Amino acid sequence: MKHKELTFIDFFAGVGGFRLGFEQAGFKCIGFCEKDKFAVNSYRAMFDTEGEWFRDDITKIKSEEIPYADIWCGGTPCQDVSIAGQRKGLSGDRSGLFFKFIELLKSKDEKDKPTFIVLENVKGLLSSHRGFDFTEYLHQVSQAGYDAIWQVLNSKDFGVPQNRERVFIIGYLRNRGRRKILPIEGENQSAIKQIIGGCQGDRLLDPKGISCTLTGNGGGWGGKTGLYFIDQSNTKTKITENSRCITSRYTAGIVNRTASNSAVLESPVIKVRNGTKKGYAKACLGDGISLAYPNSKTRRGRVGKGVAQTLDTSCMQGTLTKDCRIRRLTPKECFRLQGFPDELFEKAKELNSDAQLYKQAGNAVTVNVAYEIANSIKNSKSKETPK
């Protein structure tokens, strides 16, 4: 028996993270809404949008203009509830657009409402105004006729090495039956490509494409890729397995905040040798790049848990020489960290400056996470008989 093809409309569409994930799961997009003209240009270049419903300003839409779709999805603006912002809350100009989205739902006749709504926002929504904003968020979803479930999902658990926590809220129309969609479990399964074999500390893996060469299950410092993430921070800088959350302000560069804005630390080959001084162990990256740290009780100095987690900008841990370099992530790498394939990025690149590409990547929904949610919806079954 052939199942009905589920359709969706992509609100607050950005460059189509939700769209790509849902299409990969077999859903069909029939329209989108996005105000940023640069993001719209990228979206149209990356996807076949000919003949689709489109609006560029949600505040000017009338509900009767919107065609029927099984799902409305969207990454609702997060600036006013983000911890990194001024935290004006849902009453802020940007995050307040959520109320317009709800208004459009409420204005629809019951038969014309989507069966599901899928919304994404920053984790800070949960704590904004001591949690009252999230309570209001759920209340508004309920008032529109939907029962809501939610879960915080981290992109690093779904095949991309980016530490990106987002809360996903899924509403199902109350009179069409409840579905089991969440929770969703994820585990980083990205594969790595070996170039030079050997024991840990000698082997080298492909440094092309961060999204497939840096993984949480890649082993210790000496056994990974020769390509590492490092914080662009003046305080407590660390080398990390996963990129810090990519933001639309990635180009801010070195900042005073901790755990912010990943750069890339590149080393051609990584080797580990015994320490030469009592109480020290030394890890050598390539030829002459050494990081020493005190009070190690092992000959190898616990390279996976020592060097990789304790490099700091005070240089107390050692020195980086010309054989190693620290550079900013490229726009392509940022798109990869969000799950976009290179061929789609190249289409967006033809139309945008690097500054716009960084912004678009930072604002996007991670494709891999959207795909898992779409799959869960597709495979869910109603627990009640629709009225």
Q: Which residues are catalytic?
A: 78
Nearest one of 92, 90, 104 to 33, comparing CA atoms? 104
CA 308 – CA 241 distance, rounded (Å): 8
Nearest one of 210, 262, 265 to 231, comparing CA atoms? 262
Query: Which residues, listed in sequence order, are joined to residue 9 by a DSSP beta bridge?
Result: 31, 72
Query: Which residues, listed in sequence order, are joined to residue 194 by a DSSP beta bridge?
Result: 205
**Please, which residues have CB within 8 angstroms of residue 356's CB and are 6 or more apart in sequence?**
38
Residue 66 — φ and ψ, nearest 5°?
-85, 120
Can you tell me whether residue 222 is helix, strand or coil? helix
* Residue 41: Cβ within 10 Å count: 18
First-to-last alpha carbon distance for the chain, in angstroms, is 24
CA 193 – CA 195 distance, rounded (Å): 7
Nearest one of 255, 190, 229, 223 to 334, comparing CA atoms? 229
H-type alpha helices, 268-311: 307-310
- Rg value, the chain, Cα: 23
Nearest one of 349, 347, 294 to 318, comparing CA atoms? 294
CA 300 – CA 282 distance, rounded (Å): 8
CA 252 – CA 355 distance, rounded (Å): 11
205: enclosing H helix or E strand: strand 204-205
Can you tell me whether residue 7 is helix, strand or coil? strand
CA 205 – CA 226 distance, rounded (Å): 7
Strands 7-11 and 71-75: parallel
